[in-house]
């Protein structure tokens, strides 16, 4: 009987260890995914900032060009 209790306790301890390992792996997986999600968000923000800078540069060049050719105000395109 005592030997059976020892086996059951050993099995229960092993089962708890496996569950803890699985919980630890799940947490590690979640952290990994979270870090990559944050990295992708930062990259997207940086790309957006760069795109907005490029748009401002284009707008500034367009304004300067319109002044050079004597176009006042904005463009009025009629179709």
Looking at the domain assignment, is residue 7 inside a domain? yes
pTM here?
0.55
40/79: higher pLDDT? 40
Structural domain harbouring 9 = 1-69
Looking at the domain assignment, is residue 64 inside a domain? yes
Looking at the domain assignment, is residue 31 inside a domain? yes
Looking at the domain assignment, is residue 74 inside a domain? no
Q: Give the position of tokens 């367009």.
A: 62
> What pLDDT, on a 0 to 100 scale, did the predictor assign at position 1?
65
Looking at the domain assignment, is residue 79 inside a domain? no
For the chain, the domain total comes to 1
Looking at the domain assignment, is residue 78 inside a domain? no
Q: Strand, helix or coil at 74?
A: coil
pLDDT digits (tens, 9 = 90+) for 18-62: 888 888 899 999 999 999 999 999 999 999 999 999 999 999 999
Handedness of CA 23, 27, 29, 30 (dihedral sign): positive
Looking at the domain assignment, is residue 76 inside a domain? no
């Amino acid at each position: 009987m005592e030997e059976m209790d020892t086996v059951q306790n050993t099995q229960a301890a092993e089962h708890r260890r496996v569950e803890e390992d699985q919980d630890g792996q799940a947490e590690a997986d979640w952290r990994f995914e979270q870090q990559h999600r944050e990295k992708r968000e930062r990259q997207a923000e940086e790309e957006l900032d760069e795109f907005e800078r490029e748009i401002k540069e284009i707008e500034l060049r367009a304004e300067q060009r319109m002044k050079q050719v004597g176009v006042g105000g904005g463009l009025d395109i009629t179709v």
